[in-house]
Amino acid sequence: MSDNKDEATYHGGYRADWNPAPMARYGAAPLPPQGRPIVSPGPAPWAAHPYDGRPNSTVAVWALVTGVVGILAGWCMFGLPSIAAIILGHVGMSQTKSDQVKGRGMAVSGLVLGYVAFIPAMIFTVWMVVGGAAGMVTPIPEPSGLTTSP
């Protein structure tokens, strides 16, 4: 051999001291290399939001709660939860202007839900009141041709 390689080190194109890892069955996971265990890196660490120490505004929480109730059932409660959500939302927004309490997003959400649910609830309430009043004052005509026996 004239390519300046040591015959003892390279035999047939492969190093003589090279020891390949044992082969696994076809389709199975490969076996770990000799002398080094496989270590899983584990799951990614959970990143928590830092606690800022400010409490939530109770009024803002109640604005959100009454806004959701107003959306879900305000039409059958004649808009009362929506009115409460609007009032509590405005109070909650004024409370959260300063940096002493947090919850401005809940106050705004309750306010928006209150206004969105208020309009259909008022339409339904007016419809029920006007329809009920019209039904009470309108006389029911008696059908002709029917006789009542004494």
* Residue-wise pLDDT tens digits, 115-149: 999 988 888 888 888 988 888 887 777 777 666 66
pLDDT at residue 35 in the model: 58
Residues forming beta bridges with residue 102, ordered by sequence position: 56
Residues 26-64 as b or e (16 or more Cβ within 10 Å = b) = eeeeeeeeeeeeeeeeeeeeeeeeeeeeeeebebbbbbb
Q: Residue 42 — very low, low, confident or very high, per pLDDT cuts 50/70/90? A: confident
pLDDT tens digits, one per residue of 3-18: 555 554 545 555 555 5
Q: What gap in Å lies between CA 73 and CA 14, rounded to an integer?
A: 79
Chain centroid offset of residue 140 CA: 52
| CA distances in angstroms from 106 to 63, 83, 111, listed in the order given | 7, 16, 8
Across the chain, where does the E strand assignment appear? 10-11, 14-15
